[in-house]
Amino acid sequence: MGVLRLVLGDQLSPDIAALEGIDAARDVVLMAEVMGECTYVPHHRQKLVLVLSAMRHFAAELRARGLTVDYIRLDDIGNAGTLTGEIARAIARHRPEGVIATFPGEWRVLEAMRTWEDDLALPVEIREDTRFLCPLPRFRRWAQGRRQLRMEFFYREMRRETGLLMDPDGPVGGQWNYDAENRRPFASGLTAPPPRRTRPDAVTQEVIALVEARFPTNFGTLDAFAWPVTAAEAEAALGDFIAARLVRFGDHQDAMASGEPFLFHALVSTSLNLGLLSPRACCEAAEAAYRAGRAPLNAVEGFIRQILGWREYVRGLYWLKMPDYARFNALQATRPLPWSWWGGETRMNCIRQVVRQTRDFAYAHHIQRLMVTGNFALIAGLDPAQVNEWYMAVYADAYEWVELPNTHGMALHADGGIIASKPYAASGAYINRMSDYCRLCAYDVKAATGPDACPMNALYWDFIARHERRFAGNPRMAMPLQILRKMSPEKRAALHAQAAAFLAGPELRPEA
Ligand code: FAD
Ligand code: DLZ
Ligand code: SF4
């Protein structure tokens, strides 16, 4: 035979680099379901179904194109259990001249890939992943020599380079960023058109049965599984977002409402990260809606900024800073994860709402991830390694290249400020402004001390006080520090006692 071409579970794009120039008569495509990838974190059951079903659909599409696909199922006898083991078995079966793979999405997989050439004694080519709008060498050039790596400046360069949302004389509308128009507070009656849900077909049903049998205790329900598992389904879901929800995406991007897990969000991250959708196609679809007068600029720019800006930026940073990045713990946080994050009882309605919808849909939108669980983890001082593992496990779109910078950097400030110039710390007032969670909570969001006081309040001030010295040099923290310093010693002591009692109490119980 010719060459063995490896396609990983999140590389499901027909134009993936490893398939470029494939000789259909001689080459074999290898795809392998392996326990190693299904267990390196305790994935939500919907994530397992999504990846395995999408892999099976993609293999069928490649075969329909006339390619030979050697597809290993999780339950195949002799399954080696790891990607490396399956490559070795495939080499023994096919005796290829070499292996071609595409650059993976996680450092640990790259490390394994780098051993293959020596261990397998044949040439292994690892090709750049061309599915991103910013190639990694381009990001490195942008980052070189900069003191601060701020997303906004990267984003402007990407706008210029791609021509997305650009007029001949500058950014469309005259402004680069409409973030200030993306923060409308919660208003009662906030509801959104329900997103198009993909009905599980026979292949997905078979994978659901497999996951139920093999992963009975993993977090997450499967009843509401409705993620797109093919490119055609992903395009239909994108079309549904553009037609029905994009128009209000901008206004309500940061809002949260009970019983509305998706609001006006796009639900495209799972498809983008698997390779079922391209980032350029998403941005172009949004821009076309703007140019046709079907969506306002604050929505379209906000959406494009997330994909062309944030998504490309966090990937560039991940590969620039790994492997050290994962080990940073700038705020020296060590507290174990509370049981409530795995579905255990809590009186905090905000946490309960977000964890429940995470269990049912393997989804929470950005502000829920950042300002509810993320903020709680930050101000309560939860251990970044445990928090990262949780985010990697529970969201259907989680791969380390995108999860780690968001969690470790943006939410936990564990990177000491590489991504965010100030910690995204907030008291209950922020959650109260952006959601209806506090109205339905056993705690009183207006109180900072006392038996029913919202824990976010005392935890917030205790966090600022704990890190007073570190934050003193940060002009963006001047306001809370000023308020803290004006507090009487008695008030500071009371807030500290309140936070300490909460952290020692049943809410923070690590196990059931
Ligand atoms: P929308 O709100 O509709 O946004 C559109 C798209 O923009 C998303 O699909 C996504 O591709 C991109 N995007 C938006 N924000 C970001 C961001 N901060 N970083 C990268 N891309 C972004 N996103 C993941 O894809 N995987 C993760 O594992 C992940 N973990 C996160 C962890 C934390 C703590 C936080 C705060 C954010 C995380 N995000 C992650 C980013 C963001 O929350 C999700 O991309 C988004 O919620 C996906 O839902 P959506 O498709 O409806 O997004
Ligand atoms: C996430 C995942 C899962 C659950 N299972 C597989 C698998 O069985 N086989 C595979 O090739 N890939 C899987 N993946 C995706 C990989 O974990 C992903 O390619 C790496 O984490 C790199 O991003
Ligand atoms: Fe969360 Fe506090 Fe609001 Fe309750 S009162 S929902 S704990 S922010």
Residue 512 has pLDDT above 70, yes or no: no
Q: Which option is the CATH number for 3-127: 3.40.50.720, 3.90.1150.10, 3.40.718.10, 3.40.50.620?
A: 3.40.50.620
pLDDT in tens, 474-485: 999 999 999 999
Q: Determine the distance separating the centroid of ligand 3 and the alpha carbon of 372, expressed in angstroms.
A: 9
Taking the C-alpha atoms of residue 201 and residue 438, their distance in angstroms, rounded to an integer, is 39
Residue with tokens 């179904």: 49
CATH T-level fold of 339-508: DNA Cyclobutane Dipyrimidine Photolyase, subunit A; domain 3 (1.10.579)
Which residues approach ligand 2 with their CB closer than 6 A? Answer: 8-10, 32-34, 37-38, 43, 48, 51, 104-106, 109, 399
**pTM given for the model:** 0.98
Quote the pLDDT of residue 308. 98
The strand pair at 170-171 and 166-167 is best described as antiparallel
Centre of ligand 2 to C-alpha 83, Å, is 9
Report which bound ligand comes closest to the CA of 11.
2
What are the pLDDT digits (tens) for 150-180? Answer: 999 999 999 999 999 999 999 999 999 988 8
Torsion angle of C-alpha atoms 216, 218, 220, 222, degrees rounded to 10 = -30
Give the pLDDT confidence of 362-417 residue by residue, as tens digits: 999 999 999 999 999 999 999 999 999 999 999 999 999 999 999 999 999 999 99
Fold category of 136-195+245-320 in CATH: 1.25.40
Contact 405, 317 (CB under 8 A): yes
Give 97-156 pLDDT, tens digit per residue.
999 999 999 999 999 999 999 999 999 999 999 999 999 999 999 999 998 899 999 999
CA atoms within 13 A on the CB side of 6: 28
Q: What is the mean pLDDT of the chain?
A: 96
Q: Which atom of ligand 2 is nearest to the CA of 34?
A: 8
Atom of ligand 1 nearest to the CA of 368: 36
Q: At residue 328, does pLDDT exceed 70?
A: yes
What is the predicted pLDDT for the residue at 40? Answer: 98
CA of 332 to the centre of ligand 1 (A): 26
- CA 453 to centroid of ligand 3, rounded, Å: 9
| Cis status, amide bond into 279, omega within 30 of 0 | no
Q: Which of 341, 171, 190 is nearest to 253 (CA)?
A: 190
Q: Ligand 2 atom 2: the closest Cα is on which residue? A: 37
Q: What is the pLDDT of residue 184?
A: 84
Domain ranges of the chain: 3-127, 136-195+245-320, 339-508
Q: Say yes or no: CB of residue 387 within 6 Å of ligand 3.
A: no
**429 Cα: distance to centroid of ligand 3 (angstroms):** 9
pLDDT band at 181 (very low <50, low <70, confident <90, very high): confident
Q: Is 437 in the pocket of ligand 3 (CB under 6 A)?
A: yes
Confidence of residue 210 (pLDDT cuts 50, 70, 90): very high
